[in-house]
Amino acid sequence: MQGAPEILVVDDNPADAVLVRESLAETSHQSHIYSVTDATEALAYLRRQRKYQMTARPDLVILDLNLVHRDGHKFLTVIKSDSGLRQIPVVVFSSSESLSDITRSYLLGANCYVSKPADLKRYFSAVRAIEEFWFGYASLPKKENDERSSCARIAD
Amino acid sequence: MATVGISNPKSRLRLLLLEEHGIGEDPTVWEMDYDGGALPGDPRHTPEKLHKWLTSKKICPCEPRKMAETDLARKMEELSRSNRELEQFAYVASHDLREPLRMVATYTQLLAERYRGKLDRNADQYMEYATDGALRMQALIQDLLELSRVGREGGKKQSIDCDAVLEEVLRDMSSSIRDSGAIIQHEKLPAVTADRCYLLQLFQNLIGNAIKFRAKAPLEISVAAEAEGKYWRFTISDNGIGIAPDCQENIFTVFQRLHARTEYPGNGIGLAICKKIVEQYGGKIWVDSKPGTGSQFKFTLPAGQPCEQGAS
Ligand SMILES: Nc1ncnc2c1ncn2[C@@H]1O[C@H](COP(=O)(O)OP(=O)(O)OP(=O)(O)O)[C@@H](O)[C@H]1O
Ligand SMILES: [Mg+2]
């Protein structure tokens, strides 16, 4: 994969986004992490609307289900039925361990479901394992807008 | 001889006749319009005397039996509603508390990790206390959630072969059974009417306790069942440390335990869950025990169809 991985974290709790950042701070992948706190903002980001016109399309989305209005599932539905976005892998990363949330996420097209561990060490290793799997082992589709994403990288 | 309890909400007079022996058992309630006149001074009356007084006052007791029934039904309804509300509350509280608590726990851990040895010795200690507290609270909330789940999700009523359930539990626990050197004996167990998941939990908690609270002597556990009317009475016996007589009742209360956590790990939730499971099916659970000799945990559950007849 060329360039550092781009990860979009969608989580209504900024403290959780910080934890994801902390988890990946010292790994070899040097992922770029961008975080937004609600579904509307996340969609704008993915569709490069408004202030996101120059941002890179992420290689991976890490999605919390408990967004405002419990919008996580809705967001998943929207991007997995959008032909321009559905190839982006989405890892649901939620504190819910309920079987119905898990099943529903996969039905809606989530690529993977990971429950947020309550213990810090396990939290760190879960996030690192996600990064390692998607960027160390998995093969990903080519991004259609590589030009623009390299522009974005120069820009920031 | 009966005791007469008198309550007077506004102009409605209610007389409660409580049999001397069985206070609270099926009380007879007489309810009638009351003219506000003086009541007889002595609160204790024989029914005959009371009748005489009522007739002299031209008050006619109205269908005492029926009153009692509606009164009881109303009380039951009230009780089950407040029970439901409590369950709901416990669930919501424990569920919604989890998120903020996870933040407290992870961030105190992160603080401790990043700043250990960089502040002063007190600070290190304080962070450790805070982390410990948060983690303990997490465990307790997890348990409360588990407890409130039993009952709220209304267990199924199916005929379940307890023999198969016990086998499964023993298989799941095989490593702790091996480590403790326990010898477990059981006769063929009958089928009961309950939810399979609850039965697994029930046996797992009781056998887990027998293993955890073992004494020095080689551990022997036995499981047996005896018919008792439409119920089966199960007995799980161990030769462990036993339980003092005055503690044998409250160990079934949530978070009640008899030992420091450093001595025996656990939160004190297991038996509370067992009690809730058993009572959901109209059964009872109790313990006979002698400290230093061992314990016999007993519970009753409604009989199921015998498994030879192809019940599932
Ligand atoms: N078989 C037993 N022998 C002796 N004491 C017992 C036995 N089972 C339970 N007890 C006592 O009853 C207490 C309550 O038991 P319970 O299963 O509810 O909690 P626990 O086992 O301590 O914790 P948890 O079940 O949450 O892991 C125990 O702490 C112990 O003191
Ligand atoms: Mg226990």
- In this predicted model, what pLDDT tens digit does every residue of A95-113 receive, in sequence order? 888 888 899 999 999 999 9
| pLDDT (tens digit per residue) in B182-200 | 999 999 999 999 999 999 9
Average pLDDT over residues B167-192: 94
Question: Which residue in A15, A66, A120 is closest to B109 by CB distance?
Answer: A120
Say if ligand 1 is within 6 A of residue B243 CB: yes
Q: Which among A26, A120, A122 is the top mutation candidate for probing chain B, defined by the most B β-carbons within 10 Å of its own β-carbon?
A: A120
- By the 10 Å C-beta count (0-12 exposed, 13-18 middle, 19+ buried), B168 is classed as middle
| % of chain B at pLDDT higher than 90 | 43
| pLDDT (tens digit per residue) in A132-154 | 999 999 999 877 654 444 444 44
Contact in structure between B246 and B219 (CB atoms under 8 Å): no
**Closest residue, chain A, to B104 (C-alpha):** A118
- Could you identify the residue written with the tokens 């009742």? B249
pLDDT, residue B65, reads 56
Distance CA B111, CA B114 (A): 5
pLDDT, residue B49, reads 62
pLDDT, residue B64, reads 53
Of the pLDDT bands very low, low, confident and very high (cuts 50, 70, 90), residue B106 is very high
CB within 8 Å of B45: residues ≥ 6 apart? B2, B4, B53
CB contact B14 to A (< 8 Å):
no
Average pLDDT over residues B279-283: 93
Tell me the average pLDDT of chain A.
86
Does the ipTM surpass 0.90? no
Contacts of A22 in chain B (CB under 8 A): 110
**Closest residue, chain A, to B106 (C-alpha):** A120
Contact in structure between B226 and B235 (CB atoms under 8 Å): yes
**Residue B299 forms beta bridges with which residues?**
B234, B285
**Residue B28 forms beta bridges with which residues?**
B17
Say if ligand 1 is within 6 A of residue B182 CB: no
**Closest residue, chain B, to A116 (C-alpha):** B102
Say if ligand 1 is within 6 A of residue B207 CB: no
Which residues are close to ligand 2, an ion, with C-beta < 5 A?
A: B 209, 270
Average pLDDT over residues B23-36: 43
Query: Is residue B194 within a helix (H) or strand (E), and if so which, with residue range?
Result: strand B191-194
pLDDT, residue B98, reads 84
pLDDT, residue B312, reads 42
Contacts of A126 in chain B (CB under 8 A): none
Contacts of A67 in chain B (CB under 8 A): none
pTM of the full predicted structure? 0.65
| pLDDT (tens digit per residue) in A63-82 | 998 877 667 888 999 999 99
State whether B106 and A19 contact (CB < 8 Å): yes
CB contact B106 to A (< 8 Å):
yes
Say if ligand 1 is within 6 A of residue B294 CB: no
**Helix, strand, or coil here: B98?**
helix
| pLDDT (tens digit per residue) in B34-86 | 444 444 444 445 556 666 666 665 555 544 555 667 788 888 888 888 777 77
Q: Hey, which of A59-68, A125-134, B141-150, B258-267 has the most confident mean pLDDT? A: A125-134
CB within 8 Å of B68: residues ≥ 6 apart? B26, B27, B28, B29
Question: Which residue in B98, B99, B106 is closest to A120 by CB distance?
Answer: B106
Tell me the average pLDDT of chain B.
80
